[in-house]
Amino acid sequence: MARAQKYLNYIGGRWVPAKGGKTFPNVNPADKKELIGLFPESGPEDVDRAVEAAEGAFPEWRLIPPPRRGEIILEAGLLLKEHKEELARLMTREMGKVLRETRGDVQEAIDMALYAAGEGRRLFGQTTTSELQNKFAMSIRMPVGVSGLITPWNFPMAIPSWKIFPALVCGNTLVFKPAEDTPLSALKFVEILEKAGLPKGVLNLVHGGPSTGEAIVRHPRIRLISFTGSCEVGRLVGEHCGKTLKRCSLEMGGKNAQIVMKDADLDLALEGAVWGAFGTTGQRCTATSRIFVQEGIFSKFKREFIARSRRIKIGGGLKKGIEMGPLINEVQRERVHDYVEIGKKEGAKLEIGGRFARWKGLERGFFYEPTIFTGVNPKMRIAQEEIFGPVTCLVSFKRFEDALRMVNDVSYGLSSSLYSRDVNSAMNAIRDIEAGITYVNGPTIGAEVHLPFGGVKNTGNGHREAGETALDIFSEWKSVFIDYSGKLQKAQIDVD
């Protein structure tokens, strides 16, 4: 480790070590012997420095016209496009998902750059009538100020882009803490913005673990927290922000379901189930962890779903033909395996998987086999709690109403999916499923940057990322009244 490359924080436009001098290792989850680098273990003093830099940059950045801010974001998007392949390969080494998926991760950041850059020439408010004569009324967006952004490891560029680009175009300055499992992807993202011409101090990067994130959340001069991660941590973030009246956006977990009706295109539904359950090794908040299949086709669907899942090629994500990479680390693999054991004890039938994948070539990585349970009672923990791994439950149902009830009978509400050729079923699913996202004849995973992303119940606190709704997180509304009557006019006061 002494010979490993050491990386730095980015504060006030300078690359600097943590004040305490401590570092943490970053390893390849497909080969834990490969040390990618050492990163600063930042403390409260480093967060203080980052906040000070962001505060110093805010007065000037907020006055830069939004179209100019958008031009910098556009340039960042073009640089991401230019370096897409090298960034994707780095991300596969660091996070583990297969190359075609990390290319998609970078592409999502490119898409968000293009979208957010366009908002630089929009940032629309409203003009409206006044109840009084010779008076003009309108609303405009204003920046919030110094914002703290805390992002997860499963989408090391896409999710930061959902936060950073809208926050910048709205005129905020930022303190950014990425997950400790994917710090190099975040560092490269910041380098791209630096090269694109972002002024010093506008974006500050502090690496570290939970204590670093806590220092950001608790910092009295950070006005806004945008957090993506687990429900357990999100509750703590929301609790503190509530006590201090700090603006807070939480995007957390999911227990997403796919419904397959008898009239569905079965091959299409199977493709969607395999991709939804095992894409990104199940490490998506939108992963398909429950699949409800109507009686009459359940046996056929089960047989083919198991057969297709057995054929998934597991291995290092840079290798040609590999379809599923490792879990992110040993802790997560143990967590997934613990849930498998819980499912077996609850009485569910383990059809395939349920084991560490340790055959030749996989011994040094955190690999886990695609895992399918049947005989699942919807009240079992494996059908209620987020596992965040390649584990899914197959459940049969008789009536459409039964499927809807079981889909909604969880504490989360992020994504959902219905496979059916019946427009009436589709419209009822759209209306009745308690989720922020509903797909018809598509899997539960996948997002487009110009639409809102987020969910209901324990999935979040009501905010949405991406799309125009992201601007509502990162801007304050101001109402403006211009009275050109030349006299005092009293709104809502009767005139004698």
Query: Which residues carry out catalysis?
Result: 251, 285
- 303: number of Cβ within 10 Å: 11
* Bridge pairing between strands 9-11 and 23-28: unpaired
Q: Token digits for 382?
A: 């494996």
From the list 125, 216, 214, 105, the residue with the least C-alpha distance to 170 is 125
Q: Token digits for 410?
A: 């969880």
Please name every residue paired with 393 in a beta bridge, in sequence order, or none if there are none: 290, 373
- AA letter at 495: V
- AA letter at 480: V
- 299: number of Cβ within 10 Å: 11
Q: Token digits for 395?
A: 């459940």
Q: Token digits for 59?
A: 């007065």
Which three-class secondary structure state does DSSP give residue 280? helix
Beta strands in 144-242 (DSSP E): 146-150, 173-177, 203-205, 224-228
From the list 394, 381, 414, the residue with the least C-alpha distance to 353 is 394
Q: Token digits for 290?
A: 């429950």
Beta strands in 338-390 (DSSP E): 349-352, 371-374
d(CA 253, CA 228): 9
Beta strands in 266-411 (DSSP E): 288-294, 349-352, 371-374, 391-397
Contact call for residues 45 and 19 (beta carbons, < 8 A)? yes
Reported as type and span, the H/E element at residue 73 is helix 66-82
Contact call for residues 381 and 346 (beta carbons, < 8 A)? yes
Q: Token digits for 244?
A: 């201090």
Sign of CA dihedral 275, 278, 280, 285: positive
Output the CA angle 436-440-444, nearest 5 degrees.
Answer: 55
Q: What contacts 219, CB < 8 A, 6 or more positions away?
A: 47, 48, 51, 148, 175
d(CA 182, CA 113): 21
Contact call for residues 83 and 129 (beta carbons, < 8 A)? no
Q: What contacts 56, CB < 8 A, 6 or more positions away?
A: 12, 201
Phi and psi angles of residue 437, each rounded to the nearest 5 degrees, phi first = -135, 135
* Bridge pairing between strands 135-143 and 475-483: antiparallel
